[in-house]
Amino acid sequence: MNTTTSIILDTRRAKQDGTFPVKLRVTHQRKQKYFAIGISLSQTDFDKAQGEKPRGEYKDLKIKFGSLEARAIKVIEKLPEFSFEAFEKRFLEKKQSGQDVYSYYDRYIDSLKQEGRVGTASSYQTSLNSLKSFHPKKLSFAKVNAEFLLAYERWMLSRGNSQTSVGIYLRTLRALFNLAIEEGVLDKKDYPFGKRKYQIPAGRNIKKALTLEDIQKIFDYQPVSESEAWSRDLWLFSYLCNGINVKDIARLKYRNIEGDKITFIRAKTERTAKKNLKPVVAILTPEAKEILERWGLKPRHAETYVFGILTNSVTPEREMKLVQQAVKNINKYIKRIAVALGIEKEVTTYTARHSFSTILKRSGAPIEFISESLGHQDLKTTEYYLDSFEDDVKKQYAGLLTNFKKSH
């Protein structure tokens, strides 16, 4: 075959962000033509993706490049006579019809499971099951337009689902559209989300944070059983340690504890953040140290899980089940405690994280500090977490508007 292909970085003109487009180069009888594949990288990132043993995102990129080139070679082999025009027509036709939505879901769910991200895989599977209930037949990307998405939203709501659920399911679909565009299977013009198209509904931000008064009640509560004591203490540990979630509590080992602080990488971001993962640092207050002393496993070896929720060498599937059971137990008893204390809001493990961030906000802490403490990658995520101020605080500030009256 006198026609060759290769994946190259087109460095002739940089984009505004300093990256260059990655292209498929087809060479025939010393003539070359370039085809954009919808990916842009820096020279350094491209070199890493093309290296012998790339890891993480670079490994994913290398697989994508190989898949695209293999597809191009198949198109060339099937052409009776090569011409760039014939290749482009067949290649773009193949690109448009190469994958359907459900097969993309299946492939992505499999890749998540292979990475050990079984919780995320479960979320995508739930979204896929819902879409299949709405549209049982094969679903092409072309079929998914603003009208289709609006019809799906109405169907979901008519069956008693909330706007929040609709948003959760459709954000996974949006992520797959972005992936298909990135892989060159779709063109950006076929993207059905965004302004003047379909906008995913935002869930209602229900107040989840407790007041400082309610948190004091939980601190002062005298548990009636060991299960209550364990659940109350782990809830408080989450609140005291930057709103750390139960999965990260379960993953804590003694090597994460040094002096008056714990340092850890959030499980939620360790495989999804692209680079420069920043560890979360939580200061251990005297109360948090007391909880560690009460419930921490002994002897304290560096590789021992602190709270004994997990054991060494558990599979990702087993880890998910153990964490889910711990969350279930904590929620069961912390809800009982809340009822006994007359706390009207629903109290769960999630409430501890929201309470941590909101109490800091009400105390005047900068949002940048709160964001870093929570381990968020951007401030928008933090702003969503932060609860609104209590009415008495609003009244206090409103009174300042006419403070001049008090000087007369």
How does the average pLDDT of the chain come out, rounded?
A: 85
Identity of the highest mean pLDDT range in 36-40, 143-147, 202-206, 373-377: 143-147
Higher model confidence: residue 154 or residue 368? 154
pLDDT value for 27: 94
How far is 282 from 277, CA to CA, in rounded Å?
A: 16
Which pLDDT tens digit goes with each residue over 119-177? 888 899 999 999 999 999 999 888 999 999 999 999 999 999 888 889 999 999 999 89
Provide the token pair at 20.
């260059």
For 309-361, how does the pLDDT look when each residue is reduced to its tens digit (9 = 90+)?
Answer: 999 888 888 999 999 999 999 999 999 999 999 998 889 999 998 888 888 88
Across 372-380, average pLDDT: 76
Q: Is the pTM of this model over 0.75?
A: no
pLDDT at position 313 is 84
Backbone phi, psi, residue 20, to 5°? -125, 150
Residue 206 has pLDDT above 80, yes or no: no
Average pLDDT for 92-99 = 56
Average pLDDT score over residue span 288-294: 95
Please state, in angstroms and rounded to a whole number, the distance separating the CA atoms of residues 266 and 376: 9
Is the Cα dihedral 397, 398, 399, 400 positive or negative? positive
All domains of the chain, ordered by start, with CATH? Answer: 3-97 (no CATH), 101-190 (1.10.150), 212-394 (1.10.443.10)
Find the range with the poorest average confidence among 66-70, 230-234, 325-329: 66-70
Residue 66 has pLDDT above 60, yes or no: yes
Highest mean pLDDT out of 106-115, 231-240, 258-267: 231-240
